[in-house]
Amino acid sequence: MSLLNEERKLTNLFDGTEWNVYQSKLLNLGVGAPGTDLLQYCGDIFCKATEHRMKIDKEENLSMLFQYGPTSGIYEARFEIAKYFTQMYGSEVKCEDLIITSGATQGLQLILSTLVDLNGYVFVDEYTYMLALDCMKQFQTLNIVSVKLNKNGVDLDDLEQQLKEKQFKSEKKEFWAMYYTIPTYHNPTGIHFSPEVCEALVKLARKYDFLISCDDVYNILCYKGMKVQKRLFAYDAKDDADYKGHVISNGSFSKILGPGVRLGWMEVPRRMKTLLDSSGFINSGGCLNNYTSGIVASLFQLGLAQQHIQRMFDAYKERMLATCEVFERDLPAGCQIITPEGGYFIWISLGENGKASEFLKMCMEEEKIFFIVGSRFALHPDKRDNSFRLSIAFHSKDKLIDAAERICRCLKKYLNN
Ligand SMILES: Cc1ncc(COP(=O)(O)O)c(C=O)c1O
């Protein structure tokens, strides 16, 4: 693989594939990443933050940023993250609950390998982030179980039924099972879990003593109303009489600063923090992304991160609202759109008779537009072929409006054939 990379001089994750989002022959609406127009500011602000941090590190800090970092991450980075997200969430994020990661993907890998019985269970939504599924499948002894989803979140009856059937006592790890989800602006469906579902989920987690791992990577991208949704982690209230700590909030700067920064954090209950902090994986390397966390701390101290996040937010919001407006107006009868209140994704269902894979083929041939079919997000892909996911993150508003109009025209033709 590395040889191939060297020979082909690949520049990004999408490079070298038929669906390269940077090539103009095809409009790729599959990619959940910001485009050049948003990332172009990173160079300048990271230069300023680096200069700021290097000065401190050299003059006051014995070049500690270049040493193995403390397992949870340096205080300044955790402090700045806690301060910013406390303000954004409108609910306290505690510095001492945080572990710095190199992104939500690494967080998930660490959670799976450290906290969950490898002969145990991972419950996932019937549609879920496809690459998280790929991560889980690599733990070949884990049993992955799909749970129904509805417009308010996970189907609690289905989840409880499965918990009852599968429950066992783990002798080896803290948890016999984990439920993995994206409760806020879900990938791929765009839904957010209702407060009732969140409350009930925490009760279930306490009753059956399983872990809930939330990828909270879209939470602050809230386009409707002024308030960011309360994250599931906050429903697991520490002052409840039966509190033990069952939820992890796995956050990331990928969608709000840039994916290449590879920086994230996990908000973790005390009992799990001790286990994660003492894992060989973190201890061997120290903080999972020490250097970058120091630069990002400066980015916040200088106010540059806040400005950049606001700029990205404004662009995403404009793109999402404009694209949804077209679909709401032009989608043919029988199709359904879940209009998301935030995040990156629009989920469209073709109704009883549509097949997303057939429609994708037609859309690529006739309109040169690519998107991801719903089956890619399902544990059992063969059964699910009537929906697809579009991302608003990468392309400009005008391109997205044009694409949405063409998709609707193509859909009418497809469904009338
Ligand atoms: C739900 C979800 N989790 C994790 C990631 C990847 O996050 P990171 O870049 O922080 O590893 C994505 C990116 O698409 C995502 O949608």
Query: What's the gap in Å between 105 CA and the centre of ligand 1?
Result: 6
254 lines ligand 1 (CB under 6 A): yes
Give residue 269 CA to ligand 1 midpoint distance, Å: 21
Q: What is the bridge-based pairing of β-strands 27-28 and 369-370?
A: parallel
Q: What are the backbone dihedrals phi and psi of residue 44, each rounded to the nearest 5 degrees, phi first?
A: -65, -45
Q: Please report, rounded to a whole number, the percentage of residues in the chain having pLDDT higher than 70.
A: 98
Higher pLDDT, 16 or 78: 78
pLDDT in tens, 183-202: 999 999 999 999 999 999 99
pLDDT score, position 382: 72
Pocket test for ligand 1, best of 13, 124, 215 (most atoms within 8 A of CB): 215
220: pLDDT confidence band, cut at 50, 70 and 90? very high
Q: Which amino acid is at 201?
A: L
Summarize pLDDT for 326-383 with one digit per residue, the tens.
999 999 999 999 899 999 999 999 988 899 999 999 999 999 999 999 999 999 887 7
- The CB of 294 under 6 Å from ligand 1? The reply is no
363: Cβ below 6 Å to ligand 1?
no
List, in order, residues 6 or more apart from 55 with CB less than 8 Å away. none
Pocket mutation for ligand 1, best pick of 101, 110, 131, 213 (most atoms within 8 Å of C-beta): 131
Q: What is the pLDDT of residue 3?
A: 52
Judge whether residue 62 has pLDDT over 60: yes
- pLDDT given for residue 117 in this prediction: 98
Gap from CA of 168 to ligand 1 centroid (Å): 30
- Which residue, among 41, 51, 115, 85, has the nearest Cα to 279 in the 3D structure? 115
Confidence of residue 131 (pLDDT cuts 50, 70, 90): very high
- Coarse DSSP helix, strand, coil percentages of the chain, rounded to the nearest 5 percent: 45, 15, 40
Report residue 417's pLDDT band, with 50, 70 and 90 as the boundaries: confident
Which residue's CA is the closest to the ligand 1 atom numbered 7? 104
With a cut of 70, say whether residue 11 has pLDDT above it.
Answer: yes
Measured by CA distance, the residue closest to atom 13 of ligand 1 is 32
- Read off the pLDDT of residues 292-319 as tens digits, 9 standing for 90 and up: 999 999 999 999 999 999 999 999 999 9
Q: How far apart are CA 257 and CA 46, in angstroms?
A: 10
**pLDDT grade, residue 217 (50/70/90)?**
very high
Nearest to 144 by CA among 173, 179, 170: 179
Residue with tokens 């400066």: 298
